[in-house]
């Protein structure tokens, strides 16, 4: 089971990196770069429906997004297994 979970985690990491990286490359170092995570299960409990991670591009680290996803999945058991996870990335030009 651990091998299966490890492979799933790696596949999710790669998918997210493949989505975020091309958008991030459009940003200049001082532009703001934002990633928003949305999932139906985030609208319950202590979390809002959307989770935002925003920083200047030069400070942004994709590992923060991955860590947030795994932290949320620990709090919400259905987070990665049920429903639709929406991830959006946007650049705010300075």
**Residue 53: exposure state from Cβ atoms within 10 A (0-12, 13-18, ≥19):** middle
pLDDT of the residue at 9: 78
pTM (2 d.p.): 0.76
**What's the rounded mean pLDDT across residues 22-31?**
94
pLDDT for 65-92, tens place per residue? 888 888 877 776 666 666 777 889 999 9
Residue pair 37/49 in contact by the 8 Å Cβ criterion? no
pLDDT single digits (tens) 32-66: 999 998 877 676 666 567 888 999 999 999 898 88
* Gap between the Cα atoms of 30 and 54, Å rounded: 12
């Amino acid at each position: 089971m651990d091998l299966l979970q490890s492979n799933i985690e790696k596949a999710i990491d790669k998918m997210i990196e493949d989505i975020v990286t091309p958008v991030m490359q459009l940003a200049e170092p001082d532009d703001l770069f934002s990633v928003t995570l949305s999932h139906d299960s985030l609208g319950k409990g202590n979390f809002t429906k959307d989770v935002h991670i925003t920083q200047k591009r030069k400070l942004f680290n994709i590992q923060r997004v991955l860590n947030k996803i795994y932290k949320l999945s620990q709090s919400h058991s259905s987070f990665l297994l049920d429903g639709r996870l929406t991830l959006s990335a946007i650049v705010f030009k300075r």
